Amino acid sequence: HQYIVGLTGGIGSGKTTIANRFIEKGIDVIDADDVAREVVFPGTVSLKAIAQHFGNQYLNTDGTLNRSMLREKVFSDANAKQWLNNLLHPAIRESMLNQLSSAKSEYCILVAPLLIENDLTQFVDTVLVIDVKQETQIARTKMRDGSNEEIIKSIIASQVDRKTRLEKANFIIDNQDASLAEVEQQVDTLHIEFIKLAQIKNS
Ligand code: ATP
């Protein structure tokens, strides 16, 4: 059985940056956001169902999903949102669990911004939280995307607060005041710990 680490943190906390360090160590990382995109790739049953339910105008000319149009639709129509969630949530879960179960490394990581919000903790053996202050989330996201502060704040407001997230943590990486070299050390220490925990699970 795979030992699964759920890696989470708010927007701009450093999930991708830190997940990449684990990938460099040979650890298989599955990203919940990638899975959510994959299940509506052209050719999938989910995309066909969306086109049938909402109409072909929700497809781009190249056959991919018109995400912005669908986003607007579900933003203004609660029934549409419910229908879409009922379609996509099980599909995402199934694909995610499939990918995790076929991971080959000593343990594997599920990166999920909404690990806690979407109750994905039930699928993981341990929870690793990437922790930074809200000001840092805003500053780093702005620097990365050039996106506007109000949008970033509204995303932060839609996610669990820092305290709630930390209460769910089994392990925490401090990505606030730590230099990238110090973060690397935290990753090294955790890597050894996760290998041990995976061995215990499988012994
Ligand atoms: P999102 O939820 O938006 O996908 P994320 O949690 O994956 O974000 P990253 O993209 O990894 O966050 O990090 C946000 C930005 O902060 C990136 O530009 C990254 O290079 C930078 N960053 C991450 N960690 C640090 C650090 N310790 N010091 C300085 N900058 C950092």
Tell me the ipTM for this assembly: 0.97
175 CA to centre of ligand 1 in angstroms: 9
pLDDT tens string 15-63? 999 999 999 999 999 999 999 999 999 999 999 999 999 999 999 999 9
**Quick one: what percent of the chain has pLDDT higher than 90?**
96
Domain stop point among 60, 84, 102: 102
How far is residue 136's CA from residue 140's CA, in Å, rounded to a whole number?
A: 6
Residues 114 and 97 in one domain: no
117 CA to centre of ligand 1 in angstroms: 20
Residues 129 and 198 in one domain: yes
Q: Whose CA is nearest to atom 16 of ligand 1?
A: 140
Residue 92 pLDDT: 95
Domain stop point among 74, 102, 130: 102
DSSP readout, 44-105?
-HHHHHHHHHH-GGGB-TTS-B-HHHHHHHHHH-HHHHHHHHHHHHHHHHHHHHHHHHT--S
Ligand 1 site, residue 156, Cβ cutoff 6 A: no
Residues 124 and 154 in one domain: yes
Local structure of residue 5 (DSSP, 8 states): E
pLDDT tens string 165-184? 999 999 999 999 989 899 99
Ligand 1 site, residue 12, Cβ cutoff 6 A: yes
Domain stop point among 102, 124, 150: 102
Residues 154 and 186 in one domain: yes
Atom of ligand 1 nearest to the CA of 145: 18
137 CA to centre of ligand 1 in angstroms: 8
Residue 1 pLDDT: 82
Ligand 1 site, residue 6, Cβ cutoff 6 A: no
